[in-house]
Amino acid sequence: MRNISGRILTAQAALTGLYLLAIMPRMTGKPDGAPFHKKLFAHRGLHDNNSMAPENSMAAFEKAVEAGYGIELDVQLTKDGVPVVFHDFTLSRMCGVPGLVKDYTFKEIRKFRLLGSDEKIPSFKEFLKMVGGRVPLIVEYKSEDFDMRVCEKVDPMLRRYKGIYCIESFNPLILLWYRRHRPEVMRGQLSDSFIHEPQYRSPIKGASMLPFQFLLANFLSKPDFIAYNHLYEGNISRKLCRKLYKAKAAAWTIQSQEQLSRAAGEFDVFIFDSFIPEGPDRR
Strand partners, 137: 71, 165
Rg (CA), the chain: 20
Would you say 228 and 238 are in contact if contact means Cβ atoms under 8 Å apart? Answer: yes
Strand partners, 226: 189, 249
Give me the average pLDDT of each 10-residue run along the chain (283 residues). Answer: 76 94 98 97 98 98 98 98 98 98 98 97 99 99 93 98 98 98 99 88 85 98 99 98 98 98 98 88 56
pTM of the model: 0.95
Q: What is the pLDDT of residue 133?
A: 98
Three-class DSSP category at 184? coil
Nearest to 224 by CA among 242, 210, 205: 242
* Residues 232-266: tens digit of each pLDDT: 999 999 999 999 999 999 999 999 999 999 999 99
Taking the C-alpha atoms of residue 188 and residue 278, their distance in angstroms, rounded to an integer, is 25
Amino acid identity, position 179 = R
Spot the catalytic one: 37, 43, 181, 196.
Answer: 43
87 in catalytic set: yes
Taking the C-alpha atoms of residue 145 and residue 193, their distance in angstroms, rounded to an integer, is 20
Helix axes 149-160, 172-181, angle to 10 degrees: 50
230 in catalytic set: no
**What contacts 136, CB < 8 A, 6 or more positions away?**
35, 36, 39, 41, 70, 71, 163, 164, 165, 166
Q: What is the pLDDT of residue 128?
A: 99
CATH no. of 34-86+123-272: 3.20.20.190
Spot the catalytic one: 87, 181, 196, 230.
Answer: 87
Domain boundaries, the chain: 34-86+123-272
* Residues 128-150: tens digit of each pLDDT: 999 999 999 999 999 988 899 99
Looking at 86-147, which runs of residues are DSSP E strands? Answer: 137-141
